Structure 1
Amino acid sequence: MIISEQVAFVTGANRGFGRHLTLELLSRGAKVYGGARNPETINIPGVIPVKLDITNTQEVEAAVILAKDVTLLINNAGSATGATLLDDEVEKIHLEFDTHFFGTLSMVRAFAPIIEKNGGGSILNVLSALSWFSSGTVGAYSAAKAAEWALTNDLRLNLYPHNIRVSGLHVSFMDTDMTTSLEVPKASPADIAKIAINGIESGSFEIIADDNSRMIQGGLAGGVPALYPHLS
């Protein structure tokens, strides 16, 4: 895929990783629609702001009507309630799934026919190292991201015959608003955006953005003893 020839739609484009993805796409010559709940907060020259809450069906349908030339969809919009599965409000757990799973699915169902009609293209789902691993502290987020990983695998199989390549980006902590309270090593979102767009351009189905994600992926084959040795 030649990025300069693509029309991209990035969800959650107003801040954090979504902003850096948008900037990277624009720097490579792509046309970019940026979705955000408050589109007036998108202040990137050249981007086309779109009012979009991915959990709102009406706004997703309106976005499709506006962006009929899309060939690349990046599902970046997310939530991070910090909720645990046993102790926090069920509403927070629902929000994580409504955003990461159902919101992502809603965007794909809406835009896949558009991308196919435009000759095919790509979809990138921004996942997480926590798609594969639970820290025991943010269970709602981990469970929702694990579900989004399963969603990505299924969509990859079903959309490939329609000339749509579905990729997943696995990344650990990035230096964004979502991680300001965490004292852990954090990657530069600008650097990860470059890795992500390079992966799309090269046609990668799975983009592993950092060593921590790579290590966790390697531990999957070892099962529970490899990922959670303290339980053995």
Structure 2
Amino acid sequence: MPLLSGAVVLVTGANGGLGREFVEEALARGAAKVYATARRPQEWDDPRVVALALDITDPDSIRATVSHAQDVTVLINNAGISIGTDTLLALSDGEIREVMETNFFGPVALTRAFAPVLAASKASAVLNIHSVLSWIALTGAYSASKAALWSATNSFRVELAPQGTQVTGVHVGYIDTAMAKGVDAPKTSPGEVARKSLDGLEQGDYEVIVDDISAGVKLGLSGPIQDLYPALAANAPA
């Protein structure tokens, strides 16, 4: 039986373009219930959707959500932020910490908190949205936070395997959502990202590479670092 058939799914950042698609796609695949979470959750017209307030940077909010959602079998860590001119030198200490709290510490804390709940299910899973920027530092704090999440996903994958919880990481380039509104580059629709991500999850894949950009960057990790960062060659001493 497919993993999402009859599943109880929790999606973080459910108000956003990709989050909404995860909610809709999970329902289309037979999820019995979807907790659609956000700091200020919106209303949904499907009785299978339960809107919950969740701030993944707030330990009390996480505890309240776990207490309310003791039937979760699939956790989708989708919520994330990017701040303006995202370079480590330009951002303030507070802005860097905000990005790390939302994109790394929040998903890690939520996964830790839900681990015992997931263990109670015969079939359970965690899906983390990494971005291709976890493999290449085109943005400072955002890339650093996603690289950290990628590493945490690898650790959780090993640590949660004994309890039967599958952990899948998603790598994708620019998505056609509000976060990438100002980017002039090819973008993947959020619906396609959600479909490919959940296809991989149901197939038991540990890693989902959504687009050619992500595949190319992963391949480039085995080559000279100057190939990934041409600016290094341009600034090299004569």
Q: TM-score, normalised by structure 1?
A: 0.95
Alpha carbons 1:170, 1:213 under 8 Å: kept:
yes
Structure 2: gaps of 5 or more residues? 234-238
1:147 partner SS: helix
What does 1:156-171 align with in structure 2 at a 5 Å threshold?
A: 156-171=157-172
Q: CA deviation at 1:42?
A: 4.0
Larger Rg: 2
Q: Which of 119, 138, 143 is the matching residue for 2:122? A: 119
Structure 1: gaps of 5 or more residues? none
**Percent same amino acid among aligned pairs?**
43
Tell me whether 1:148 sits opposite 2:176 in the alignment. Answer: no
Q: CA deviation at 1:109?
A: 0.7
Could you say which residue in structure 1 is the equivalent of 2:90? 87
The 10-residue stretch of structure 1 (123-132 or 24-33) with the greater mean CA deviation from structure 2: 24-33
Rounded to whole Å, the distance in 1 between the matches of 2:56 and 2:135 is 24
Q: CA deviation at 1:65?
A: 1.0
Distance verdict in 2 for CA 1:148–1:44, change over 3 Å? farther
Could you say which residue in structure 2 is the equivalent of 1:74? 76
1:222 partner SS: coil
Alpha carbons 2:3, 2:123 under 8 Å: kept:
no
Rounded to whole Å, the distance in 2 between the matches of 1:12 and 1:229 is 34
Alpha carbons 1:130, 1:172 under 8 Å: kept:
yes
Could you say which residue in structure 1 is the equivalent of 2:182? 181
Q: CA deviation at 1:71?
A: 0.7
Rounded to whole Å, the distance in 2 between the matches of 1:44 and 1:92 is 36
Distance verdict in 2 for CA 1:230–1:87, change over 3 Å? closer
Residue identity opposite 1:172 in structure 2: G
Q: TM-score, normalised by structure 2?
A: 0.93
Could you say which residue in structure 2 is the equivalent of 1:43? 44
2:184 partner SS: coil
Q: CA RMSD in A?
A: 1.2
Alpha carbons 1:34, 1:47 under 8 Å: kept:
yes
Alpha carbons 2:11, 2:35 under 8 Å: kept:
yes
1:181 partner SS: coil
Q: CA deviation at 1:100?
A: 1.1
Rounded to whole Å, the distance in 2 between the matches of 1:156 and 1:44 is 35
Q: CA deviation at 1:44?
A: 4.9
Structure 1 stretches of 4+ with a deviation exceeding 6 A read none
What does 1:1-232 align with in structure 2 at a 5 Å threshold?
A: 1-30=2-31, 31-39=33-41, 41-45=42-46, 46-82=48-84, 83-135=86-138, 138-232=139-233
Distance verdict in 2 for CA 1:21–1:44, change over 3 Å? farther
Residue identity opposite 1:142 in structure 2: S
Distance verdict in 2 for CA 1:48–1:91, change over 3 Å? same
2:11 partner SS: strand
Q: CA deviation at 1:201?
A: 0.4
Deviations 1:84-107 (A, max 9, x none): 101221111101110111101111
1:5 partner SS: coil
Rounded to whole Å, the distance in 2 between the matches of 1:43 and 1:162 is 33
